[in-house]
Amino acid sequence: MDYAAFEALTFDCYGTLIDWERGLLEAARPILAAHGASAGDDDLLEAYARHEAALEAGPYAPYREVVGSALIGVGADLGFAPSDDEAEAFATAVGAWPPFADSPEALRRLATRYRLGVITNCDDDLFARSARQLGVAFDEVVTAQQAEAYKPRPDGFALMLERLALPRERVLHVAQSLFHDHVPAKALGLATVWIDRRQGRSGSGATPPAEAAPDAVFPDLASFAAAAVPEA
């Protein structure tokens, strides 16, 4: 891929820049333990993915509500009912989920060459907390709250392209989730890079399974940044 052909990079946040599987598990484990419930990591992540995707496919609701409701759905699967306070704490924890270790430095490197944007299934305030951990100023941010729609719907992508005011062949989308990102981005004619954070692990984790054909694949953001900005 000729990375010099692109002027802007757009990113998914949770799962690509922020370690949302680790964040989900760390927030969920104490709640399950308090109710005497248990599940393997992959089973818990995949159950969460099913509930979250179903909620995001319906009428728009704030991400806090989606996350809390997805926890309630997982609890029902496991035979317990989270309290309102537990659902609220679980949703609020989104802003504290940790970045992947390579994300801040890779983003700084990429920012020397490209305009950077984020298209994220999140509320404005929760993403703002995550962005502070990433340590870069994004040129454009499109949240689900702004688009009033969740990926894989195309609304957020369309809004980002409008704000960037660039031909789509000058925009490269970088993401982990085939389901949320690569399927809709490719349908819109965007080139994509898959950051395969789950490389070598079975199952689909916290994203529903999907089929897509990214233009390039990297195991992490650092290796992508080295390829896209080789002389930084």
Catalytic residues, which ones?
A: 12
Tell me the β-bridge partners of 172. 9, 191
d(C-alpha 63, C-alpha 122), whole Å: 5
- Alpha-carbon Rg for the chain, nearest whole angstrom, is 17
d(C-alpha 71, C-alpha 53), whole Å: 12
Does a cis peptide bond (omega within 30 degrees of 0) precede residue 152?
A: yes
**Crossing angle for the helix pair 41-56 and 63-78, nearest 10 degrees?**
130
Asked whether 19 and 97 are in contact (CB, 8 A), the reply is: yes
Q: Which residues contact 191 (CB under 8 A, 6 or more apart)?
A: 1, 6, 169, 171, 172, 173, 215
Hey, is 99 helix, strand or coil?
Answer: strand
d(C-alpha 82, C-alpha 51), whole Å: 15
φ and ψ at residue 120, rounded to 5 degrees = -130, 140
